[in-house]
Amino acid sequence: MPPTVANLTYALITPAWNEEAHLEEVIRSVTRQTIQPVRWIIVSDGSTDRTDEIARSAAGRFPWIVLLRLERSPDRHFAGKAHAVNAAYASLKEVEFDLVGNLDADITVPADYYEFLLSKFSELSTLGVGGTPFVEETGNPGSHSHALSNLEHVSGACQLFRRRCFDQIGGYRPIKGGGIDWVAVTTARMLGWTTQTFVERSCVHHRAMGTADRSPVKARFRHGQEDYYVGNHPLWEIARSLFQMKNQPLILGGLSLLLGYTYAWLSGKPNPIPPALRSFHRREQMERIHKMLPFRKRCQA
């Protein structure tokens, strides 16, 4: 292992709400890492199943694993993840480390996963957020699986931040409607940090995105609403919906995504994303659409 990689250290945070079905497997994948975290905070965010028991047992076997129990409203919303991650991060203020990662409680990673990511942070001094694509256990492709995929975006399921970057963006912003991972990555890029997904590795997502408490079609509708709130350009959303129609559930998934976006647009609810961040995001999307236009490629030929 390169000495520069060995000099970098990282801490992990895993918000876990009733995750007994997957947590033991996640723990096995982290404890098998070729470079282990200096601290791993598993946040049981009001769990009512065996999540606490599983995390407490792991903490008894590995001194760098800590269970943090939080109590919250029984209502499930995305702000809960932000509060859990930020509370865990606050508990790490006396711990020395260079990078901090969010790892969802239904994600497993190969044994050299964090060694690989640490090498990327070692090579790129401006890298503020790094990660990899994920593959869904259900058989659907995960993130970065089509032409509109953006390698500057890093999936919230397995984000790794440079500590200085995480401090600068102010951690995760608690937004009930979702998009907290996107806000973190896009804010980092707007502030001048490099953010990148590295496709040489991948992790496995053991549950389809957003289906913890809803069907796949309803989850896509929810994703469409989230797309509107983070400021996706209408042209971008139409293209994204068309791409999603080829994935399960066929046609209905992409249609539900577009309906969710349209519903949020017509609802007139206040948007929680700062206007400057939305404008930055739309400029990036339109630049990417412009680069993909066929007539532009012909003109450059």
Identify the three-state secondary structure at position 100.
strand
Angle at 206 between CA 205 and CA 209, to 5 degrees: 65
Of 140-149, 183-192, 214-223, where does the model show the most confidence? 183-192
- 55-59, 119-123, 287-291: range with lowest mean pLDDT: 287-291
In the sheet with 127-131, reading across from the earlier edge strand, the strands are: 65-70, 39-45, 10-16, 99-103, 158-162, 127-131, 194-197
Q: Is the pLDDT of residue 138 over 90?
A: no
pLDDT in tens, 236-250: 999 999 988 988 888
The pLDDT-based confidence of 214 (bands split at 50, 70, 90) is: low
Q: How many CA atoms lie within 13 A of 119 on its CB side?
A: 12
Report how far residue 151's alpha carbon sits from residue 164's, in angstroms, rounded to the nearest whole number: 22
Q: Higher pLDDT residue, 10 or 210?
A: 10
Q: Where do the domains of the chain lie?
A: 3-205, 216-300
The pLDDT-based confidence of 211 (bands split at 50, 70, 90) is: very low
pLDDT in tens, 72-113: 765 556 688 999 999 999 999 999 999 999 999 999 999 999
Identify the three-state secondary structure at position 188.
helix
The pLDDT-based confidence of 136 (bands split at 50, 70, 90) is: confident
pLDDT in tens, 52-75: 999 999 999 999 999 999 987 655
Q: Is the pLDDT of residue 283 over 50?
A: yes
pLDDT in tens, 148-205: 568 999 999 899 999 999 999 999 999 877 789 999 999 999 999 999 999 999 999 9
Residue carrying the six token digits 């994920």 = 134
249: preceding bond cis by omega (within 30 degrees): yes
Is 3-205 a domain of CATH 3.40.30.10? no
Q: What was the pLDDT predicted at 216?
A: 85
Residue 145 Rama label (left phi>0; alpha psi -120 to 50; beta): alpha
Q: Give the whole-number percent of the chain exceeding pLDDT 90.
A: 66
Report how far residue 106's alpha carbon sits from residue 208's, in angstroms, rounded to the nearest whole number: 10
Would the pTM count as exceeding 0.85? no
DSSP state of 144: S
Q: What was the pLDDT predicted at 230?
A: 85
Q: What was the pLDDT predicted at 73?
A: 61
Mean predicted lDDT score pLDDT of the chain = 88
